[in-house]
Amino acid sequence: MSTSNVSAAPAARADAVSFTADALVVHLRDGRVITAPLTSSPRLHRATAEQRAKWELIGRGVGIHWTELDEDVSVSGLLGLPD
């Protein structure tokens, strides 16, 4: 029987968040950068630039939260991994 080591891998952690006109850009602590279209999150897509700028890291960087938008995005979800 084979087993997966995905759960044994250290969690990717966000360090910073920025936006382009049509994308969420997450900068990871290990130097990688994840880009996701804003259309993948209806709340972020509809939000103003000011609302998008009010993010905070949660869980030591495993996720990003926007209180005003009631939106959470996980780094593992952006990477296509199970949470």
Q: What is the full per-residue pLDDT of the chain (83 aa) written as tens digits?
A: 555 555 545 789 999 999 999 999 999 999 999 999 999 999 999 999 999 999 999 999 999 999 999 999 999 999 998 87
DSSP bridge partners of 24? 19, 36
Query: In the prediction, which pLDDT does 7 show?
Result: 52
Residue 37 CA, chain-centre distance (Å), reads 11
- Predicted TM-score (pTM) of this structure: 0.85
What is the CATH class of 12-78?
Answer: alpha beta
Query: In the prediction, which pLDDT does 10 show?
Result: 73
Query: Residue 4: exposed, middle, or buried by beta-carbon count in 10 A (0-12, 13-18, 19+)?
Result: exposed
Query: In the prediction, which pLDDT does 8 show?
Result: 47
